[in-house]
Amino acid sequence: MTAAVVSIVLLLVGLPLLASWLGGRRFWSRLRPGRGADPWGDLVRVHDLSAGEAAAVNTAVARGRRLDDERLRRAAVAHARQALSGLQWREATRGQRVLLVLVAVWLLLQVVGIVVQLVAGEPGDVSWGVVAALAVAVVATVVFRRRLHRAVELNGGPPA
């Protein structure tokens, strides 16, 4: 009997509370008129891309490949340049710059700590997981930038 009462109370009180909480979340704002910028949606609309074409453009840019269709190549160049501009320091917001500085300081402290431990002759104390994560992050960033530049070059845009 009490389980049934608790279930009914949860349904009658909890469900409306959950709905009002979800309705107030910021992620719903992208569905409302007057929402913020939508660079990908704008790119798809400007170049009049179908869903399949948009996927092909996104894949070609991510892999640094050339597309056959001239219209898709123009979209790929625009998409790659947009992604490259998002990686520029001068394009970053203040919050992004603060976060980047904090991450850079953390990375520097990690590298200094690893070097100190290696110089002290204690390679067992080195956090090799951190070393692997740093290496993956650096390699992934370099590869991503190279692929974006290659996508611009191969799809007919002048180098950025």
What is the reported pTM?
0.61
The number of distinct structural domains making up the chain is 1
pLDDT by residue (tens digit) across 54-101? 899 999 999 999 999 899 999 999 989 888 887 777 767 788 788 888
Looking at residue 110, its pLDDT comes to 82
The answer to whether position 88 is within a domain reads yes
Domain range for 65 is 42-156
Q: Rounded to an integer, what distance in angstroms lies between the CA atom of residue 71 and that of residue 48?
A: 9
Q: Rounded to an integer, what distance in angstroms lies between the CA atom of residue 49 and that of residue 43?
A: 8
Statement: residue 146 has pLDDT above 90: yes
The answer to whether position 37 is within a domain reads no
Token output for 140: 């992934």
Q: CA nearest 104: which of 140, 134, 139?
A: 134
For residue 56, the tally of other CB atoms under 10 A from its CB is 19
The answer to whether position 10 is within a domain reads no
The answer to whether position 80 is within a domain reads yes
Q: Rounded to an integer, what distance in angstroms lies between the CA atom of residue 45 and that of residue 37?
A: 13
